[in-house]
């Protein structure tokens, strides 16, 4: 890359009750995590539908990280199980679309500030290795 290193843009969907709180905890505890993440707060990971994930990628994200409460801990009881099922299906579809590596699902509880920082760093570095996505550009070029 000519202009220094590639800085991925990663969209993170974080549920209000666990993951967002965990990210917040990282912030208040001054745990460092990459600035590449753009965090979108949702009430529950079950709110994140495949259309939102695909739209994020189509609109310029290089990767998407879906986060939610650990299984059994969802504030709405079963929202994250729904997320998991959708994710299995979505992953299979993404594989066919050549985008499997660009999306990940992780459970982060309200007390896991450290874990959040690790997960975020790991994913951002993974996307950095893959390189820029530029989905719209690539898919509309001749």
Number of C-beta neighbours around residue 59 at 10 A: 11
Is 108 a residue that touches ligand FES (CB under 6 A)? no
Contact between residue 107 and residue 79 where contact means Cβ atoms under 8 Å apart? no
The alpha-carbon radius of gyration of the chain (Å, integer) is 15
| Tokens found for residue 99 | 């985008």
Contact between residue 67 and residue 106 where contact means Cβ atoms under 8 Å apart? yes
Name the segment binding ligand FES (CB under 6 A); options: 23-31, 69-77, 112-120, 122-130. Answer: 69-77
- Polymer length in residues for the chain: 142
- The residue ranges that bind another protein (CB under 8 A) are 49-51, 53-55, 57-58, 71, 81-82, 84-86, 88-90, 92-93, 96-102, 130-135, 138-142
Is 80 a residue that touches ligand FES (CB under 6 A)? yes
Q: Which is nearer to ligand FES, 17 or 33 (CB)?
A: 17
Q: Report the nearest approach of ligand FES to the CB of residue 128 (Å).
A: 27
């Amino acid at each position: 890359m000519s202009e220094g290193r590639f800085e991925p843009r990663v969209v993170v969907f974080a549920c209000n009750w666990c993951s967002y709180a965990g990210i917040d905890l990282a912030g208040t505890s001054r745990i460092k995590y990459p600035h590449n993440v753009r965090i979108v707060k949702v009430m529950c990971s079950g709110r994140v539908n495949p259309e939102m994930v695909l739209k994020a990628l189509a609109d310029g994200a290089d990767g998407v990280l879906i986060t939610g409460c650990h299984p059994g801990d969802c504030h709405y009881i079963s929202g994250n199980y729904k997320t998991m099922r959708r994710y299995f299906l979505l992953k299979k579809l993404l594989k066919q679309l050549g985008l499997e590596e660009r999306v990940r699902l992780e459970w982060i509880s309200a007390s896991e500030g450290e874990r959040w920082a690790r997960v975020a760093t790991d994913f951002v570095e993974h996307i950095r290795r893959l390189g820029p996505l530029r989905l719209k550009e690539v898919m509309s070029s001749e």
